[in-house]
Structures are given as structure tokens and as C-alpha cells.
Structure 1
């Protein structure tokens, strides 16, 4: 529900049903390619109407396939399992005399035929449950009033316990996708016209235009995710990316294990590493780029950070108290 409210009260494109024209292409570090007009209104239907009931797994399954948001939707599905009774889930367990399923059914038959006197522990637990329900209802009052307000505030908390909060994702979306591409060269002169720059490839985020978008769910590639956010800002706001560059210059094994392809795997480490800023768009089905086997069309925007060497980064590392990477 909150995800739906933040959309209809956020970016105008959600109200005129055009956000989904961009959403699959620009959101998340590695979005599957899926563009269908029905998804424009289906998003509002699921989040604003279906959410009033305990959400069944099927809408979440749609989001898992199309949203590619790692483990988030899987976690949302877990509470819905409580909506299914034992008879519905019984097929998951072996049947037969003496089996777990048989013993559970026997216990249920015995409980139905008897009305045991409530024990002290069950009374305490019931009192605790009722008290917790009353507390949550009381704490929910300002949250509900906020949701009904025309000046709704999202992604905030209303009490010191930080429970019963308002949260909604993708209230506004960007209309274009940019990516930071890390490159290395073995050339002694980074400014030389004949310097050959080679791309590092990440596990899942867009890089090589010919690589098919991958499905990460339920896994979460945190470095890919951070690189996606870094592309919205400058490297001055993300000094960790220069820390990563230093690791690549030293061919650090742990850092390289987070990548899919190291162009210097069987060679000495690069002498220089730089970050390039690109704009990415899906190739058009049936178009020239798609015919060439390219899923993406990319265009260089400019430099994200200039070429740096390991020697140049030493003072940068020292000022921040980072351990100096040791070149192999």
C-alpha cells in the first residue's frame, strides 16, 4: 500500500502511466528487460488494491521476475505462508503411518476432542499478544493520519522505537540510465593516444553492451548496487570507488573476486585505472544494434574520475587511514 501511495503522490509519470516506459531500463543495478503496457496499470492494482489483503505470493512472484530486486520480494512472501492451513501445505510432507504428517494430524484430532484448561504460560502469552496489538494500534494512529494527509511524508518514523513506519519505494524515477565503467591500461603514459584501455566487468551490472541482463534474485550483489548509486553522483561523493581503483591497481584478490572479468588476469596489474561515465539504453528489438547481438546501446558522457596510478593514490589512502594496497 505504501509503495502505491508514494507513487500516485510522487512522480507525475506514475499518474499518467508512463513511468514503466523507463522503470525497467533505469532502476536497480541489473534490471531484466521487460516492457509491456499492462505493467503500467498492474503496478497500481497490486500495490493499492491487493495490498489491503494479506498479499499472496503470486504478485510477489511477478515482481521477482520483472523487478530483479534481490531478496526483498522473497522476504515479503514469507509472512504470506501463514495464510495457508496445514491441509493446503500437507503435500510438502511425506504421508503414511508414523510420518511427521501423520503424527501432526493425530495431535490435531486429539486437541479437537478435548478442551484442556488454559495453562499459566498460555494466559501470559495471550495477554502479551493483546498488549502488543494495542501498542501497535496506538503507535499506528499518527501513521494512518499521515497516509490520509495531502502532505504525506514517506520513508520516515513517528516514534523513538522506530516501528510502524512509512516506507515506499520508487516515488520518483530517473528517465535515463548512467553507468560507471572502470578501465585499466598497461601503457606507461595514460594520456598517450595509443593507450589501450580495457574494461573490468562486474557480476551483473551493465557493462559490455553484448552481455544479456542477468537475473540476480534472490542474491544481492552489493558492489554492483553501490556502483549504480555512484553513477548518480561524482566520485568526490563516493571516495570508496578510488579505494576500489587502488585495489585493482594492486590486483587485490579479494576485490577481484567481486568482479566477473579481470582483463589483466594473466598479466601484470594495470599501471593506470580510470572511471568512464556512460549513458545506457536498451537496444530496440529488430534494430541494428539488436541484430549485432547487443542488448544495450551506450554513449560516453565523459570522464567519471581521471586516470590514477597506485603511486598517486598512496597519499589519498594514507590521509583516510586506509591500508595501502601492495602490488603483486
Structure 2
């Protein structure tokens, strides 16, 4: 069985699994802190309503068997405890079978959440976390060297993430082919970070270099992942550097960090050990027969399911961030096949002034954690934390269709000062008494120039576009009604 394992990747496996555990921990904490307002029994898109119309085979989840807010909280906090235990090394301190069960537990718990998460969990990094988590089940623990077959499957996943993202850009918006997309992207991305303003103000030639380098890293470098060392390590580290550049330039939840985790599994473990000043691990035994059997079975399953994402890479109508099965194994990935040239933001305002007038002085603005609002507030760094409501409000500003199932309910909860909803909002201008009316306006935002920033201290300049919703109030049926 010497061919079955790769001792040189012991430290690589450790780096991948511990980073993955940290991301699981983040994801479960996000779920625990935000689910009541979004998915709870009285949430914007309640899980009970979803499972009543979607069968188990289409969305396998523990919540298909039973749902209550208390049960969801228990699942989320169990995931927090389990991922924290794996992060500090519990999975390496127990027998191999117990470590496998721990990783299965993490995957199954988060799968249960994602499969009932609806629009709030429709992002590519959810499936990516699940697919990486599925592969981690079969990488073993400190009792054995990592299986070669699974290491290759992790490389195949990393290849699809990078190469798929590169293809979707080249096939999509022409600005990627013209090397001009980064003239707009740093300003119009869903949730800018504290350095996004500075990235946007880089000289135009540097934006061209950024874009060209992105094409090289996503369309050429991934093929080097399948070459012998040290070339594969150089390719992986190139991807790591690129992902850290993206971390600095914006907030993309854990997308960049999980890509870093995948890349670490490709780096020669001896290099990781040397850089970290770690001695070689103790002698390990060979893998048990039962472990070899499940690894081979899992490899066969992933290879069969890989037909669909592999085909997706070569067809003209490439799908972006698509799952081809309800287990979220062997999916398709990609990002920013098109780039917005202008940024629009929904600004939500309330008033208690009677009678209701159009006078702006009578209206007070709600502030969000990640979504731009106050022009003087520097964007914050949140990733890998994920503010789901803020992201979806960015999409609704692009098209009201993204909010068809929940936006009216969100306005209703603002009019009620719903405590769970208010926990997702940074600045509630009506902490003691809910507003009598809410209105929604659309503004065009742009980053200020160097001169404007020095003169006004404002990071953004905004221009009123139109009213999205006139003033509404709660009607007798406790739903928003247009004010008369």
C-alpha cells in the first residue's frame, strides 16, 4: 500500500484541514447569529415553508425531519463546537475512525443548513466549503499519511475553482478581454473593503497589469498544479498570493480563504514544515483496510460526478457557481463573469414625523454593517465573515427580482422594529419606537477623488436616482401599505 499514501504531504494535509476547520467555524457562527431573521419560523424566508414544498431528495437536510428555531440553533452551535474542536487538533488526537466521523459531522451539519438556506445561501462559497469538507473526510488524521487519491481530488477541485473563474471571465464581459474590468470592479463589487478605495485609485496601467495577471493565474497556472514538485508548489503559492491580494481589495466572505486552503494542500509538506520550524512527525502506520476501501469508493464517486463540471468547462454556455447534485459534490465555480460599470445602492429611510412629507430632513437613514450608506464611513474589513442581508441588498439594487420573495417582509419588520432583524442592522435610528413610515430610494455611488477625500473626508459621492418605494406604513393586516 505504499502507493496509497504520500508522507511528504503530512504538513500540507494539516494546513488544509486546520484552515478548513476555521472556515467551518466562521460559517456556523454566521448561521447561528443570523438565521432567526432570515430563515427562522418568523424569518423572511421561513424554513418550515420551504421544506413543506421541497422534498428531501431535492434538499437533504436534518430540517426536513424536524424544524424549530431552537433546533436550528442547536445544530448551528453544535457545528461551532465541533469545528472549534477540530481546529485545535481534536481530530488528530483521536483514532482514525473517530476523526472521519468528526469530518462527516461537520459536512452533514452544514449541508443541512445550506440545503434549506434558499436565496441567503445561494453563493458559490457555500458549495465550495461543502465540497472541500467532503474531501477532508477522506484525508485521514495524524495516525496515517494522506491518501494520494484524495490529494489529487483536492487539486482537481482547486483547478475547477481557478480555471472555471478564468473561463467565465473570458467568455463573459468584454472588459476582461480588453483588460479594463478593474477600472470599475473595485468600486462596484458587492462589499468593498477598507483598501478598495485605494485599489480603485491605482494608475490605469496597473489595472491593466492586475487584469492580465489574473488571466495568467486563472487560465495557465492551474495546469501546473498537476506537474511534479517543485513546479506544483510554485503554482499553488502563486494562487495563494493572488487570493491574498483579493482579500486586501474586497470582502468575499470565505471564498478567497478556502481557495488558499485548497492551495496549501498542494504545497510540498516539507517546505511547510521547514518554514514553520516543525520537526518531522512521528512514524505513522499504514492505512487500515476499511479506510482504503472508503477512500477508493469516494474517489470513484467524485470522478463519476465530475463529468458534469468537466463538461461545463468546455461548453459555450458555461454555468457559474452551479451545483449538479443535492450533496454539493463536484460543482461548478466562477465569479464576476460580468462587471458593473456603475454602483447603485438602496438607501432605506424611516420617519415618525406627521404628516409625512418629502422633506429629507424628516427622514432618517438605516445603516448597515457592510453595505455602503454613510458617505463618510470608510468601508470595513469583514471577510471571512459574511453579512448575508447586506450582500442581497446589493443584488436587489441591481434588480428588484432578487428581493421578490423577501424584501417586502424586510420592510415590514423594520416598521415593527423586529428584534431579530435589528441585530443585522448597524444603525437603527428608531431604537425606542418604530417608525411610522419607511421609504426606499436608489442612489448612484462612486468613490471620491483624492481631492474630494481631502476636502470633505467622504469616501463616497452619491447622487439621487429615483424612489424605489414611496412611503409605506403598516396596514391593519400588519403588512406594508402605501401612505395616502
Shorter chain as denominator, the TM-score bin is: 0.7 to 0.9
Please name the residue that 2:214 is paired with.
Answer: 43
User: What is the alpha-carbon distance in structure 2 between the residues aligned to residue 145 and residue 252 of structure 1?
Assistant: 46
The 8 Å contact of residues 243 and 257 in structure 2, kept in 1 or not, is answered as yes
Deviation at 1:218, TM superposition (A): 1.2
Q: Which residue of 1 aligns with 2:434?
A: 269
Of 166, 180, 184, the residue aligned with 1:18 is: 180
Q: CA RMSD in A?
A: 3.0
Q: Which moved more, 1:300-309 or 1:255-264?
A: 255-264
Distance 1:305 1:240, change over 3 A: same
Shift of 1:122: 2.4
> How many angstroms does 1:301 deviate by?
0.9
Contact residue 252 and residue 383 of structure 2 kept, 8 A:
yes
The answer for the alignment partner of 1:280 in structure 2 is: 445
Indicate the residue corresponding to 1:6 in structure 2. 168
Kindly state the Cα deviation for residue 206 of structure 1 after the two structures are TM-superposed: 0.5
1:215-244 CA distance string (max 9 Å, x none): 111111111111111111238943523322
Matching residue of 1:62: 245
Structure 2 vs 1, CA of residues 206 and 316 (structure 1 numbering), >3 Å: closer, same or farther? closer
Deviation of the 1:137 alpha carbon: 3.5
- Determine which structure has the larger helix proportion and give its number: 2
Distance 1:184 1:312, change over 3 A: farther
Unaligned stretches of 5+ in structure 1? Answer: 94-100, 318-328
- How far residue 167 of structure 1 moved from its aligned partner, in angstroms, is 2.1
CA distance in 1, matches of 2:414, 2:325: 44
Which residue is 2:457 aligned to? 293
- State the SS of the aligned residue for 2:172: coil
Alignment match, 1:79 = 262
Q: Of the candidates 273, 282, 295, which is equivalent to residue 89 of structure 1?
A: 273
* Unmatched segments (≥5 aa) in structure 2: 1-162, 226-231
CA distance in 1, matches of 2:476, 2:440: 15
Judge conservation of contact 2:345–2:372 (CA < 8 Å) in 1: yes
Alignment deviations for residues 117-176 of structure 1 (CA, whole Å, 9 cap, x no partner): x6xx62343344344434433443454344234454544456686532322111112211
User: 1:273 is paired with a residue of what secondary structure?
Assistant: strand
Distance 1:194 1:65 in 2: 36
SS of the equivalent of 2:442 reads strand
Q: Displacement of 1:69 after TM fit?
A: 0.4
Residue 307 in structure 1 maps to residue 471 in structure 2:
yes
When normalised by structure 1's length, the TM-score is 0.78
1:296 deviates by 0.8
Output the TM-score relative to the length of structure 2: 0.55
What is the Cα deviation at residue 264 of structure 1? 2.6
Residue 225 of structure 1 corresponds to: 391
